[in-house]
Structure 1
Amino acid sequence: MNDIVDQKIGRDGKIRTLVVDDHQVVLDGFVARLQLEACIDVVATASNGLEALEAVGVHHPDVVLMDISMPIMTGLEAAEQIKQQYPQVKVLILTMHDNREYIMKVMQAGAVGYMLKDISADKLVQAIKTVHQGSTYFCESVTQTLFTQPISDPVNSKVNPLSRREDVILKLVAQGNSSKKIAKALEISYRTVETHRQNIKHKLDLHSTAELTKYAMQKGLL
C-alpha cells in the first residue's frame, strides 16, 4: 500500500485535497503543482481506490482528485463508495479516458467533475475551486464528447448499472462462491466484497442470492 502522506497545516480557508493515481510520477507531479496554490492543501495521497476510500475516512478532504483506471479498486468504484459514505466530499475525475460511456458512468457514480489529463495546470486548479464551491466541472473536450456522440435510446436499450468489478463479483456469487472465497480469488478484502454485494443488490433492487443468481443467468453471465 502506498504510504498516505498527511500534509495538513491547519490553516483556515484552504481546500483540503486528496490526490489519487496509481502512477507515482503522475501523482508526484499533481501534488507538486497543487502545493504551489495558497488556497489548496494536499492532505493525503493514495495509489488506488481502496486507499482513497480509507484516506477520506482519515483525512476528511473537501475534494478528491482521482484517476479511473487503478488496481484493487477503480476510481469509479471508489467514487460510488465515497458518495455513499461521505456525501459532502466532492469527487473530481482526472483521466485519459475520453468516451461517453466512461463519462456517463462517472456522473452516475456521483462525481461532480471530469477532466482529461492533458488539461492545463491552471484549469486543474480552477476545477478544484469550482467543485469545492458546489458546482460541476467538465473540461471542454469532455463537454464536446457529451454533446457530439450519439445518445442511446433509453426506452429500447438497457444500460448495465453495474461496474465491471461488480459484474465479476455477481458472476462469482451466482456460481455459489462465498464472500471469503471471492475475496481470496480477487485478492481483495472480505469487507470490500461485502460492500460490493450490498451495492449490487441496491442497484438491481434484489434482496437474495437466489435473485442475484437468476439475474446473472438472464444476463448470460453463467
Structure 2
Amino acid sequence: MTKLGFRQIASEYSHIDFTINYENSNNESISKVLTQHNPDILVINLDTIPYKIVSLIINYNTKNLKKIKTILVSNFISKQVFESFYTKGILGFLYLNSKKIEIISCIKKVCEKKIYISNEFREKINQYKDDHYFIKSSFKTLTPKEIQVIKFIILGKTSSEIGEILHNSKRTIETHRQHIAEKFDIMGQGRLSLFLIEYKSLITALLNEQIEISGYS
C-alpha cells in the first residue's frame, strides 16, 4: 500500500506527519499548520481528504509557499480534478497502491520539477495534458481585455451585451473574439463559444488563477 511505502521511505529520511481539522479549516488554520511544519514535500490523499480542503491547501501553497512540492495520491484521477490541480502547478499524480520503487520515482521527479503520473492514470490523463499545455500557453498571451471578453462569453453574453458592459462597440468585441480565436488556433470566432464550453473547467480554472494573482475581477 502507498501508505506503507511512504512509511518505509520516511523511516530513512526526516519526516513529519500532521493532520488538519477539516471542519474548521480555513486559510489561517492551514497557514499555521504548514508554516509550523514547513515540509519539503506534501502528500495528499484525495480519497480521504475533502476536495474543498485539498483546494484550500493547494491554493495557499501556490500563493505563499511555492517551495513545497505536492503529490496527490488516489485510486482515480478524474479529468476535472486533474485540470483543476495541474493548472496550479501540481506535478505528482500517484496511484494509491503504488509500490515503494514507484513512490521513490515519483518523489524524485517532483523534486526535479518534472511531472510524474502513475501508469494507472497515464493513458487517460495524457489526453487531458496535451490540450492543457496548449491552452495554458495560449491563455498567457491574452490581453486583460481579451480575458474580460472570455469571462463574459462563458457567462453566455452576446457580443452586443459584452460591448455594453465594457463600453465598447459590438464590432470592437467581435475583433477581440477574433484575436482570441486566433490565439487558441480556432478557425473563426464563431466557433469560440463551442471551444470555451468544451474546455470550460480548464478555462475557468485559468481565469480564477488570473484573478488570484492580479486581483482582477
Structure 1 vs Structure 2: percent identity of aligned residues?
8
Structure with greater proportional helix content: 2
- Structure 1 CA distance for aligned equivalents of residues 56 and 210 of structure 2: 12
Residues 1:30 and 1:79: Cα distance change in structure 2 (over 3 Å): farther
* TM-score normalised according to structure 2 size: 0.53
Q: Does the Cα contact within 8 Å between 1:35 and 1:41 map onto a contact in 2?
A: yes
Say which SS state the counterpart of residue 74 (structure 1) adopts.
helix
* TM-score when normalising by structure 1: 0.52
Which letter maps to 1:127? C
- 1:41 aligned to which of 14, 20, 25: 14
Is 1:202–2:212 an aligned residue pair?
yes
Q: Which residue is equivalent to 1:126? A: 105
1:43 maps to a residue whose letter is: I
Task: List aligned pairs for 1:1-222, cutoff 5 A.
Answer: 29=4, 32-36=7-11, 38=12, 40-47=13-20, 50=25, 53-69=31-47, 70-71=49-50, 73-148=52-127, 155=192, 156-158=195-197, 159-160=200-201, 161=204, 201-202=211-212, 206-207=216-217
Alignment size in residue pairs:
146
The structure with the largest alpha-carbon Rg is 2
Please tell me whether the aligned partners of residues 64 and 89 of structure 1 are also in contact (alpha carbons under 8 angstroms).
Answer: yes
**CA distance in structure 2 between the partners assigned to 1:201 and 1:89 by the alignment:** 22
Higher relative contact order (CA 8 A, sep 6+): 2
3-state secondary structure, aligned to 1:88: coil
Q: Distance in 2 between matches of 1:116 and 1:127?
A: 10
Cα 1:148–1:131 change in 2 (3 A) is closer
Q: Distance in 2 between matches of 1:124 and 1:52?
A: 25
3-state SS in 2 of match to 1:157: helix
Q: Distance in 1 between matches of 2:112 and 2:212?
A: 30
Displacement of 1:115 in angstroms is 1.3
C-alpha RMSD of the superposition: 3.7
* In 2, Cα distance between equivalents of 1:90 and 1:63: 5
Q: Name the one with the larger strand percent.
A: 1
Q: 1:205 to 1:52 in 2, by over 3 A?
A: closer
- Conserved 8 A contact 1:48-1:71: no
| CA–CA distance in structure 2, aligned partners of residues 129 and 88 of structure 1 | 15
